[in-house]
C-alpha cells in the first residue's frame, strides 16, 4: 500500500487515512508551501466537469484551473473565457500530449468515459503530470495496474476522485464507524441508485462505460462499505435484475444486489441500481446505528443517530469545505508536501477488483472469495 | 392455494388477502355468527404466550381463552386462575389429547419451540380442533406438508401466527406496495434482528429451533417481502456470518444476508441477525419510497413516505384493533364463516420453503432457484 497507511493482520487500515484530509498536513508543511497553487487541466468537459468540479476551484485554497482538454473547440473556448484560461492552454485530444510543455499544469484531472481513463491517465503521467482520475478508476483491474505503474514510473502522484472522503458527514461517519462510536460494526446497509434517463448516453454503452449501474453509482455503496470499515471484503455474493427489453439496458447492468463479508466479522448488504432511487448508508453497531441519507449526494447530507432502544435523532454536522474543493485541495497538498493521497490508485484498484468479483458472482451464480 | 386468493401468471397474488382481515367478512356473515366467541387453548406458556397473546383476548371480539396446555402445573394453575379458566381445562403434554372432549375449545394455538409445532398441530387436528400455529410453521417443508395434510384430513382450519398481517401500518404498506402507490415496486429492503441474550434458551438449540436467527426473526424480513409484493421469489442468494466461538452460536445461524428475485422484476435485499438490531422495511417504487421502522415490533410502528425528490415525511396511520387481537379474531371469523385464513398453512409452508433455499444457498455458496 502506498497511501501512508498499512493493513494489520485483520485487514484494518491504520494511520491517517481515516481522518480529514486537511489534518494530514502539518502547519510547518503548509507554511513551506504557502502561496503556491497547484494548476489543474480538466480533461473532458461533460456536465460533471462543468457543473460540479470547475465551479469549485473558487472555493479551493491550493488549486487553480489552468487548462482544458476537449474534443469540442467551441465549448472549450467558451469555458476558457469564463474561467480566464489562455488560448494556449486549450488542448484537443490530438494535441493533448503537448501539455507536457505547459508549466501551468501540475495535475491532469481525467473526467472522461470510464474506458478512456487508463489511456489519458497514462498519457498524462508520461507528460510528467500528476493524475487525478474519476471513479471508477477503469473498467478492469489490468488497466488500473497499468495506470499505477505509469504514475510510479513517472514519479507522479495518482489520486481517484472519491469526493465523499472530503465531505464532512462522511468524514464524521468514518470516524464513528471505525472508532466504534456505539461498539463494533455488525452490519452496513449501503444503497445507491437512480432512474437513468437518455438511453443514448455513454454510461449505457459497454464499450465506453465498461459496465452499468455498478460502475457508475453502485461503486458508492461498495466504496462506502470499505471506507466505513477500513477493511477489504473477503467474500462477495451478488444477484442481478436487468430487463434486457428496456432499451437502456441492452448492454449494461441495471440492478445488482451484493453482499460482502469483512475480516472483522462485519457484513454489508448493498444495492446498485439504474431504475431505483437510493442514496443512503446505515452502520449498525453493537449498541445502535447511524445513517446518512442522502449519503453521497452533491449536497444535502443528513445524519440520523439511534442509540439502541432510543428513537433516531438528526445530528447536525458542520459542513466545512465543499467536498469538491476539498478533493482538489487534497491532491494539491499531497503534491506540495510529497504525501500520498488518501484515495490513491491502489484504492481505486481495490474497488475495481471487488466489482470484477461482483460481476463474476452474478455470471457464475455463486459466492466469490477475495484474497 | 387455499387462502381465497390465487396466483396469476406473473405470480401476483390476487384477491382479498391483501386487505384488512376484518374486511373479508360480509355484514351478513358477521350477523349470522353474532354472539358466538371462539374458544382457544394455548399450548406452551412461554413469554410470547403469556405476555403478548393471552393479554389480548380482552381486546378481541370473537375470541376467548378457554384452556391451557403446559408442562408446568403450577404455572398453568396460576394463569388459569388469572384468566378464569376451570381446572378441567388445564392439560399437560401427557393429557393433551383429551382436549378432544372439551367443547369449550375450538382452536388449539401452538406456541411451542419450532420443532414441536408439527407434532402438536397434528395432534390438535386429530383431536378435532382447528389449529393456529406460531411461525416458523415448522423447521422443514416436510413437516409443514404433514401439518397441512392432517388439518385437511380432519377438515380443520390451519392458520400461522403472522400477526403483522393484522397490524394497521403493515396492512397500509401492503395496500401501497401492491397498489403501486408510487409506481411499480423496484427494490425492497427488509431487515430484522436483535442481540440475543441467554445462551441456554431453546432458540439457540438446533434440535428445538430447527435453525437460528433466520427461523426466528429473519422470517419477518422474508415474509414482509412476500406480503408486500404478493409474489413468490424465484431465486435466492445468501451469505452467512456466524461466530462459532460465540457460545450462543454453537448450533445455529447468527447473521444471514439474503437477496430475492421476484417474477415481476422486483428484488429484495434482506438481513436476519441475532447480533445486530434491525426492525425495518423500505419499499422503493418507481416514483418514491415508503418505510416502516419499526416495522413488525409488538407496538410503535412508524411510517415515513418520500415521493421522489422530496424529503421523507412521517405518515400517521390509524391504529385500529391490536394486531394480536386481530389475529385471534381473524381465525375466529374464518371458523364462524367457513373461510380460509389469509395466512394459511400454505402461506407458512412457502416461507419455510424459501428458508430451506436460503440455508442451501449459504451451504453451497451459490444462488438457488425456486420454482
**B89 neighbors B112 (Cβ within 8 angstroms):** no
Q: Show the 3-state SS of B37-89.
A: CEEEEEECCCHHHHHHHHHHHHHCCCEEEEEEECCCHHHHHHHHHHHCCCHHH
Among B123, B303, B186, B216, residue whose Cα is nearest residue A191: B186
Mean of all residue pLDDT scores within chain B: 93
The secondary element (H helix, E strand) that includes residue A323 is helix A323-337
Displacement of CA B305 from its chain's centroid (Å): 25
Within-domain flag for A1: no
> Would the pLDDT of B21 be above 50?
no
Instruction: Compare CB distances from A187 to B255, B286, B293 and report the shortest one's residue.
Output: B255
- Angle between helix axes B219-229 and B168-178 (nearest 10 degrees) is 50
CA dihedral B117→B123→B127→B128, nearest 10 degrees, is: 50
- Is residue B139 domain-shared with residue B288, that is, in the same domain? no
Chain A residues touching chain B at CB-CB below 8 Å: 186-187, 189, 191, 193, 195, 235, 237-239, 241, 243, 255, 257, 259, 261, 265, 267, 269-271, 273, 275-278, 284, 286, 288-289, 293, 308, 312, 365-367
> Would the pLDDT of B358 be above 50?
yes
**B266 neighbors B229 (Cβ within 8 angstroms):** yes
Active site (annotated) includes residue A241: no
Within-domain flag for A361: yes
Within-domain flag for A117: yes
- Test mutation, A259, A260, A306, chain B, max B CBs within 10 A: A259
Q: How far apart are CA A277 and CA A255, in angstroms?
A: 11
Catalytic residue among B40, B91, B135, B274: B135
What is the three-class DSSP state of A306?
Answer: strand
Cβ neighbours of residue B164 closer than 8 Å, sequence gap 6 or more = B170, B220, B223, B224, B227, B295, B296, B323
Q: Would you state the pLDDT for residue A291? A: 98
In chain A, the percentage of residues whose pLDDT exceeds 70 is 91
Within-domain flag for B251: yes
Within-domain flag for A154: yes
Q: Would you state the pLDDT for residue A128? A: 98
- Test mutation, B293, B301, B367, chain A, max A CBs within 10 A: B367
Among A30, A1, A31, residue whose Cα is nearest residue A16: A1
> Would the pLDDT of A1 be above 60?
no
Within-domain flag for A331: yes
| In the block, residue with C-alpha cell 440492478 | A255
- Is residue A114 domain-shared with residue A253, that is, in the same domain? no
Q: How far apart are CA B311 and CA B101, in angstroms?
A: 60
Q: How far apart are CA A292 and CA A281, in angstroms?
A: 6
CA dihedral B312→B318→B323→B325, nearest 10 degrees, is: 170
Q: What is the mean pLDDT of residues A198-227?
A: 98
- For B87, the domain range is 6-163+324-343
- Is residue A63 domain-shared with residue A147, that is, in the same domain? yes
**A108 neighbors A41 (Cβ within 8 angstroms):** yes
- Is residue B291 domain-shared with residue B210, that is, in the same domain? yes
- Is residue A210 domain-shared with residue A119, that is, in the same domain? no
Q: Would you state the pLDDT for residue A35? A: 76
CB-based contact B273 A238, cutoff 8 Å = no
Q: Would you state the pLDDT for residue A26? A: 63
- Is residue A258 domain-shared with residue A365, that is, in the same domain? yes
- Is residue A195 domain-shared with residue A207, that is, in the same domain? yes
- Angle between helix axes A168-178 and A219-229 (nearest 10 degrees) is 50
Within-domain flag for B147: yes
Instruction: Output Rg (C-alpha) for chain A, integer angstroms.
Output: 20
Q: Would you state the pLDDT for residue B3? A: 35
User: What are the tens digits of pLDDT across the range A10-62?
Assistant: 333 333 333 444 445 566 665 555 678 999 999 999 999 999 999 999 999 99
User: What are the tens digits of pLDDT across the range B200-230?
Assistant: 999 999 999 999 999 999 999 999 999 999 9
Q: How far apart are CA B359 and CA B369, in angstroms?
A: 13
User: For B320, left (φ over 0), alpha (ψ -120 to 50), or beta?
Assistant: left
Q: Would you state the pLDDT for residue A295? A: 98
Per CB-CB distance under 8 Å, the chain B contacts of A308 are 277
Within-domain flag for B1: no
In chain B, the percentage of residues whose pLDDT exceeds 70 is 91
CB-based contact A255 B267, cutoff 8 Å = yes
User: What are the tens digits of pLDDT across the range A289-300?
Assistant: 999 999 999 999
Burial class (CB in 10 A: 0-12, 13-18, 19+), A224: buried
- Angle between helix axes A141-153 and A117-126 (nearest 10 degrees) is 10
Instruction: Compare CB distances from A308 to B271, B277, B284 and report the shortest one's residue.
Output: B277
- Is residue A103 domain-shared with residue A247, that is, in the same domain? no
CB-based contact A189 B189, cutoff 8 Å = yes
Strand runs labelled E in chain B: 6-7, 13-14, 38-43, 63-69, 90-91, 107-110, 130-133, 158-160, 185-193, 235-241, 255-261, 267-273, 278-285, 288-292, 303-307, 313-315, 368-369
Catalytic residue among A129, A135, A261, A321: A135
- Is residue B143 domain-shared with residue B124, that is, in the same domain? yes
Q: How far apart are CA B217 and CA B160, in angstroms?
A: 15
For residue B282, count other CB atoms closer than 10 A to its CB: 24
> Would the pLDDT of B20 be above 50?
no
CATH number at residue B279: 3.30.360.10
- Is residue A81 domain-shared with residue A176, that is, in the same domain? no
Which DSSP category does A134 fall into?
Answer: P
User: What are the tens digits of pLDDT across the range A262-288?
Assistant: 999 999 999 999 999 999 999 999 999
Q: What is the mean pLDDT of residues A117-130?
A: 98
C-alpha triplet B229, B350, B332: angle, nearest 5°:
90
Q: How far apart are CA A237 and CA A74, in angstroms?
A: 47
Paired with B235 in beta bridges are B261, B369
Question: What ipTM did this prediction achieve?
Answer: 0.90
The secondary element (H helix, E strand) that includes residue B126 is helix B117-126
Among A170, A101, A138, residue whose Cα is nearest residue A320: A170
C-alpha cell, B320: 385500529
Sign of CA dihedral A52, A53, A54, A57: positive
B35 pLDDT band, cuts 50/70/90, is confident
**B138 neighbors B113 (Cβ within 8 angstroms):** no
Which DSSP category does B173 fall into?
Answer: H
Helix %, strand %, coil % of chain B (to 5): 40, 25, 35
C-alpha cell, B319: 391504529
**A252 neighbors A212 (Cβ within 8 angstroms):** yes
Among B101, B58, B96, B54, residue whose Cα is nearest residue B78: B54
Cβ neighbours of residue A338 closer than 8 Å, sequence gap 6 or more = none
**A58 neighbors A84 (Cβ within 8 angstroms):** no
B1 pLDDT band, cuts 50/70/90, is very low
> Would the pLDDT of A94 be above 60?
yes
Q: Is the backbone peptide bond immediately before A294 cis, with ω within 30 degrees of 0?
A: yes
Q: What is the mean pLDDT of residues B180-199?
A: 97
Instruction: Output Rg (C-alpha) for chain B, integer angstroms.
Output: 20
Burial class (CB in 10 A: 0-12, 13-18, 19+), B264: middle
> Would the pLDDT of B125 be above 80?
yes
**B211 neighbors B253 (Cβ within 8 angstroms):** yes
- Is residue A12 domain-shared with residue A156, that is, in the same domain? yes
Which DSSP category does A344 fall into?
Answer: B
- Is residue A114 domain-shared with residue A204, that is, in the same domain? no
Structural domain count of chain A:
2
Which DSSP category does A33 fall into?
Answer: T
| Lowest pLDDT segment from A40-49, B1-10, B172-181, B345-354 | B1-10
In chain B, the percentage of residues whose pLDDT exceeds 90 is 90
For residue A55, count other CB atoms closer than 10 A to its CB: 15
Q: Would you state the pLDDT for residue B371? A: 84
Establish, for the pair of chains A and B, how many residue pairs have beta carbons separated by less than 8 Å. Answer: 105
Displacement of CA A162 from its chain's centroid (Å): 2
Q: How far is A250 from chain B (nearest CA, A)?
A: 16
CATH number at residue B125: 3.40.50.720
B26 pLDDT band, cuts 50/70/90, is low
Q: How far is A272 from chain B (nearest CA, A)?
A: 10
Among A118, A122, A181, A180, residue whose Cα is nearest residue A154: A122
Amino acid at each position: 500500500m502506498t497511501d501512508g497507511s498499512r493493513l494489520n493482520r485483520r485487514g484494518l487500515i491504520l494511520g491517517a487515512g481515516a481522518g480529514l484530509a486537511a489534518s494530514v498536513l502539518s502547519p510547518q508543511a503548509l507554511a513551506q508551501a504557502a502561496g503556491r497553487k497547484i494548476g489543474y487541466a480538466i480533461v473532458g468537459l461533460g456536465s460533471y466537469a462543468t457543473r460540479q468540479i470547475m465551479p469549485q476551484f473558487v472555493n479551493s485554497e491550493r488549486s487553480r484551473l489552468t487548462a482544458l482538454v476537449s474534443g469540442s473547440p467551441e465549448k472549450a473556448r467558451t469555458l476558457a473565457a469564463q474561467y480566464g484560461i489562455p488560448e494556449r492552454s486549450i488542448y484537443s485530444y490530438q494535441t493533448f500530449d503537448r501539455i507536457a510543455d505547459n508549466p501551468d499544469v501540475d495535475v491532469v484531472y481525467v473526467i472522461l468515459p470510464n474506458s478512456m481513463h487508463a489511456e489519458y491517465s497514462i498519457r498524462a503521467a508520461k507528460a510528467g503530470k500528476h493524475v487525478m482520475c474519476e471513479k471508477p478508476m477503469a473498467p478492469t483491474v489490468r488497466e488500473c495496474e497499468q495506470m499505477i505503474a505509469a504514475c510510479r514510473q513517472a514519479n507522479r502522484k495518482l489520486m481517484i476522485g472519491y469526493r465523499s472522503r472530503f465531505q464532512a458527514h462522511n468524514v464524521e461517519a468514518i470516524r464513528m464507524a471505525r472508532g466504534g462510536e456505539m461498539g463494533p460494526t455488525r452490519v452496513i446497509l449501503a444503497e445507491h441508485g437512480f432512474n437513468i434517463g437518455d438511453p443514448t448516453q455513454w454510461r449505457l454503452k459497454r464499450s465506453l462505460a465498461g459496465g452499468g449501474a455498478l460502475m457508475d453509482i453502485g461503486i458508492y455503496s461498495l466504496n462506502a462499505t470499505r471506507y466505513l470499515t477500513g477493511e477489504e471484503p473477503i467474500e462477495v455474493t451478488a444477484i442481478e435484475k436487468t430487463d434486457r427489453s428496456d432499451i437502456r439496458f441492452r448492454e449494461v447492468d441495471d440492478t445488482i444486489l451484493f453482499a460482502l463479508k469483512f475480516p472483522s466479522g462485519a457484513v454489508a448488504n448493498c444495492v446498485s441500481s439504474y431504475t431505483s432511487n437510493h442514496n443512503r448508508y446505515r452502520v449498525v453497531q453493537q449498541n445502535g446505528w447511524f445513517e446518512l441519507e442522502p449519503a453521497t449526494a452533491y449536497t444535502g447530507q443528513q445524519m440520523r443517530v439511534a442509540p439502541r432502544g432510543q428513537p433516531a435523532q438528526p445530528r447536525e454536522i458542520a459542513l466545512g469545505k465543499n467536498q469538491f474543493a476539498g478533493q482538489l485541495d487534497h491532491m494539491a497538498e499531497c503534491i506540495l508536501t510529497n504525501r500520498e493521497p488518501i484515495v490513491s490508485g491502489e484504492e481505486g484498484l481495490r474497488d475495481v477488483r471487488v466489482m470484477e468479483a461482483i460481476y463474476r458472482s452474478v455470471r457464475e451464480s455463486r459466492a466469490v472469495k477475495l484474497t
